[in-house]
């Protein structure tokens, strides 16, 4: 379990003393509960006996462990339960009875069949914060439809706005799952805050389509009210110019972004050496610049043709123009800014080794995170059974064995 490091006057992590129970797989729900664990909550992760969260098997790239699982499950307790087994289900009910938060991403309909829906569970435990993560929400024509990250990227319109004019593309990360996990996390925190004030728990419903849909509202507004769909522009911005990649004479590429007319003037005068472009009616405001982005690209790349990436970056910095270079994920891991600010810590792996882990993004000032280890499958089963009085299953004394049958979605 995550805990604050000892410092003078350290108040401890804000969720110490809170217990979260999660029936979770893949990305969305585990991301939400991992953030709760990072803040000090005890997170009891219920997994299928013998196989566990299927994200454990996505790859073996982190010293034999899955990169997804290592990212999303530090600081949790792994407990193997078959929730369709009477003994294990009774144990789960006892664990939930002492919890503050219950999170699940069971497949559509499973939560009702299992009697783990919000109405049933909160009738017994009205202070509980119950959070359901689903693809499309509990009702409507898609309420029983299975969903995964790429499919929600398609349904939300993201895929149609990403890529080149010739071909659509998905986001390179699990963006629908991540959006959903972050809204589940913030919703749970808000519900806990309200409970502190009112004593009442909550029934939260977080749908992937709704979460990513929030992020797609601006393109939807532009398409509905602007009369045409947002064009696919590759690495360039569809609504702002100049904003994107520009070739440099040494064969490299520099990304830059201009946000307003003042920055456009600075770019023309101080970087391009083309002050006459400032008053050119084709480029006078952003709307005109977007319409004539091809001419801007030609002017920018002509100016950069005799330079180097480092030299162009220096000019842009001097003029106050935001810029960046493209880094690979491997290069990001060694980003000088992360290293200089001490943004990397380490977490333990099931095999006993340690691996780098980014510190949570929110800096508190009066505490430092101490990140919990990544659990082996079932590492905490015996201890939790002993704690909650579930030493055997159906009187057999078994604490594992046959594969469980949780019905869980991504």
Domain boundary among 287, 320, 353: 320
- The CATH number of whichever domain residue 30 belongs to comes to 3.40.50.10540
Q: So what's the pLDDT on residue 101?
A: 98
- Report in angstroms the alpha-carbon separations of 88 from 76, 119, 122: 19, 21, 20
Residues 88, 187, single domain; the answer is yes
Q: How many domains does the chain have?
A: 2
Assess whether pLDDT exceeds 80 at residue 378. Answer: yes
Q: What is the mean pLDDT of residues 377-392?
A: 88
Lowest mean pLDDT among 274-288, 340-354, 387-401: 387-401
Q: Are 128 and 100 in contact (CB under 8 A)?
A: yes
Q: So what's the pLDDT on residue 231?
A: 86
Bridge partner residues of 168 (DSSP): 163
Lowest mean pLDDT among 90-99, 331-340, 363-372: 363-372
Residues 286, 347, single domain; the answer is no
Assess whether pLDDT exceeds 80 at residue 186. Answer: yes
Residues 135, 33, single domain; the answer is yes
Residue 399 CA, chain-centre distance (Å), reads: 33
Residues 181, 273, single domain; the answer is no
Q: So what's the pLDDT on residue 393?
A: 52
Q: What is the mean pLDDT of residues 244-249?
A: 94
Q: What is the mean pLDDT of residues 261-288?
A: 95
Answer whether residue 109 is part of any domain: yes
Assess whether pLDDT exceeds 50 at residue 79. Answer: yes
Residues 124, 263, single domain; the answer is no
The contacts of residue 364 (CB under 8 Å, 6+ apart) are none
Answer whether residue 248 is part of any domain: no
CA end-to-end distance (rounded Å), the chain: 24
Residues 274, 183, single domain; the answer is no
Ramachandran region, residue 352 (left: φ > 0; alpha: ψ -120 to 50; beta: rest): left
- 10 falls in which pLDDT band (50, 70, 90)? low
Strand pairing of 19-23 and 101-104?
parallel
The mean predicted confidence, pLDDT, of the chain is: 89
| Per-residue model confidence as pLDDT tens digits over 152-182 | 999 999 999 999 899 999 999 999 999 999 9
- Return the active site residues: 177
- 150 is written with which tokens? 């790429």
Lowest mean pLDDT among 201-205, 256-260, 320-324, 391-395: 391-395
Ramachandran region, residue 324 (left: φ > 0; alpha: ψ -120 to 50; beta: rest): beta
Q: So what's the pLDDT on residue 406?
A: 42
User: Which segments within 96-201 are labelled E, that is strand?
Assistant: 101-104, 129-134
To the question of pTM greater than 0.75 for the whole model, the response is yes
For 331, phi then psi, to 5°, come to -70, -35
The contacts of residue 74 (CB under 8 Å, 6+ apart) are 2, 34, 37, 38, 347, 357, 371, 372, 373, 374
Lowest mean pLDDT among 30-34, 257-261, 404-408: 404-408
- 228 falls in which pLDDT band (50, 70, 90)? confident
Answer whether residue 396 is part of any domain: no
- 395 falls in which pLDDT band (50, 70, 90)? very low
- Report in angstroms the alpha-carbon separations of 218 from 179, 181, 210, 224, 258: 16, 21, 14, 10, 19
| 372 vs 399, residue with greater confidence | 372
Q: So what's the pLDDT on residue 363?
A: 85
DSSP state of 5: P
Answer whether residue 117 is part of any domain: yes
Angle (CA) 162 165 170, round 5°:
25
Residues 192, 270, single domain; the answer is no
Q: So what's the pLDDT on residue 244?
A: 94
| Per-residue model confidence as pLDDT tens digits over 93-143 | 999 999 999 999 988 788 889 999 999 999 999 999 999 999 999 989 988
Q: What is the mean pLDDT of residues 213-240?
A: 89
What is d(CA 169, CA 158) in angstroms, rounded to the nearest whole number?
A: 9
Answer whether residue 9 is part of any domain: no
Assess whether pLDDT exceeds 60 at residue 410. Answer: no
Answer whether residue 12 is part of any domain: no
- 369 falls in which pLDDT band (50, 70, 90)? confident
Residues 105, 196, single domain; the answer is yes
What is d(CA 266, CA 333) in angstroms, rounded to the nearest whole number?
A: 33
Q: What is the mean pLDDT of residues 329-338?
A: 93
Q: Which run of H or of E encompasses 354?
A: strand 354-358
Residue 15 CA, chain-centre distance (Å), reads: 20
Assess whether pLDDT exceeds 60 at residue 1. Answer: no
What share of the chain in percent tops pLDDT 90? Answer: 78
Q: What is the mean pLDDT of residues 323-345?
A: 92
Residues 47, 97, single domain; the answer is yes
Structural domain including 131 reads 19-216+335-388
Residues 187, 308, single domain; the answer is no
- 316 falls in which pLDDT band (50, 70, 90)? very high
What is d(CA 260, CA 174) in angstroms, rounded to the nearest whole number?
A: 32
| Per-residue model confidence as pLDDT tens digits over 196-207 | 999 999 999 999
Residues 269, 194, single domain; the answer is no
Lowest mean pLDDT among 137-141, 190-194, 369-373: 369-373
For the sheet with 42-47, list strands across it: 76-80, 42-47, 19-23, 101-104, 129-134, 202-207
Ordered alpha helix ranges (H), 39-85: 67-72
Q: What is the mean pLDDT of residues 19-31?
A: 96
Residues 171, 65, single domain; the answer is yes
What is d(CA 255, CA 243) in angstroms, rounded to the nearest whole number?
A: 7
Answer whether residue 230 is part of any domain: no
């Amino acid at each position: 379990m995550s805990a604050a490091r000892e410092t003078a006057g350290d108040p401890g992590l804000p969720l110490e003393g809170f217990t979260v129970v999660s029936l979770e797989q893949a990305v969305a729900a585990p991301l939400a509960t991992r953030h709760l664990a990072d803040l000090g909550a005890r997170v009891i992760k219920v997994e299928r006996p013998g196989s566990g969260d299927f994200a454990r098997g996505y790859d073996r790239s982190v010293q034999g462990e899955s990169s997804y699982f290592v990212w999303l499950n530090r600081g949790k307790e792994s407990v193997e339960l078959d929730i369709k087994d009477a003994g294990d289900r009774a144990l789960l009910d006892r664990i939930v009875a002492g919890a503050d938060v219950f999170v699940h991403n069971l497949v559509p309909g499973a939560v009702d069949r299992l009697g783990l829906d919000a109405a049933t569970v909160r009738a017994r435990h009205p202070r509980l914060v119950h959070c359901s993560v689903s693809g499309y929400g509990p009702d409507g024509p898609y309420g029983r439809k299975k969903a995964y990250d790429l499919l929600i990227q398609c349904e939300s319109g993201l895929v149609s706005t990403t890529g080149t004019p010739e071909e659509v593309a998905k986001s390179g990360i699990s963006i629908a799952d991540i959006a959903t996990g972050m809204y589940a996390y913030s919703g749970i925190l808000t519900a806990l805050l309200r409970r502190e004030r009112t004593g009442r728990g909550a029934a939260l419903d977080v749908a992937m389509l709704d979460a990513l849909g929030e992020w797609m509202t601006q393109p939807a507004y532009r398409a509905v009210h602007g009369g045409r769909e947002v064009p696919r522009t590759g690495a360039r911005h569809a609504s702002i110019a100049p904003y994107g990649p520009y070739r440099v004479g040494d064969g490299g590429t520099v990304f830059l972004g201009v946000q307003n007319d003042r920055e456009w003037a600075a770019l023309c005068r101080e970087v391009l050496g083309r002050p006459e472009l400032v008053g050119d009616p084709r480029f006078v405001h952003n709307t005109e610049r977007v319409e004539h982005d091809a001419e801007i690209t030609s002017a920018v790349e002509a100016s950069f043709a005799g330079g180097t990436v480092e030299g162009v970056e220096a000019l842009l910095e001097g003029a106050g123009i935001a810029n960046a270079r493209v880094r690979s994920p491997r290069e990001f891991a060694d980003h000088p800014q992360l290293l200089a600010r001490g943004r990397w810590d380490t977490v333990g792996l099931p095999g006993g080794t340690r691996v780098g882990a980014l510190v949570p993004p929110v800096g508190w000032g009066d505490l430092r995170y101490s990140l919990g280890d990544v659990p082996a499958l079932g590492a905490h089963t015996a201890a939790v059974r002993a704690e909650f009085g579930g030493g055997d299953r159906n009187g057999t004394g078994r604490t594992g064995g046959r594969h469980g049958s949780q019905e869980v979605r991504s």
